[in-house]
Amino acid sequence: MDKISKALRRLRPKEKTKIKILLEKILRGDFSHIDITKLKGRDDIYRVHQGSLRIIFYKNGETIRILTIERRTDITYAF
């Protein structure tokens, strides 16, 4: 089982629904009405937040890859 599926299984049903909607928008490249921030020191890694949850993804041209889905903690952005 991959890391993203495992993270989704740990979410509450309401959170899971919201995150799945965000994931679909990100993977389609539809970034309207989404709070996206580029991570410092990187030109190709971004984060989207939904409450205390963070989706961190890689975007290079048309390529979009979800790196992780995590709750906000002190180590969330430690790559």
Range of the domain at 57: 3-71
1-35 pLDDT per residue, tens: 588 889 889 899 999 999 999 999 999 999 988 98
H helix runs in 1-79, sequence order: 3-9, 13-28
Task: Check which CATH number belongs to the domain holding 61 and give it.
Answer: 3.30.2310.20
Q: What's the domain count of the chain?
A: 1
Residue 77 resides in a domain: no
Residue 79 resides in a domain: no
**Beta strand segments in the chain, E:** 36-38, 45-50, 53-60, 63-71
pTM as predicted: 0.81
Residue 42 resides in a domain: yes
Residue 31 resides in a domain: yes
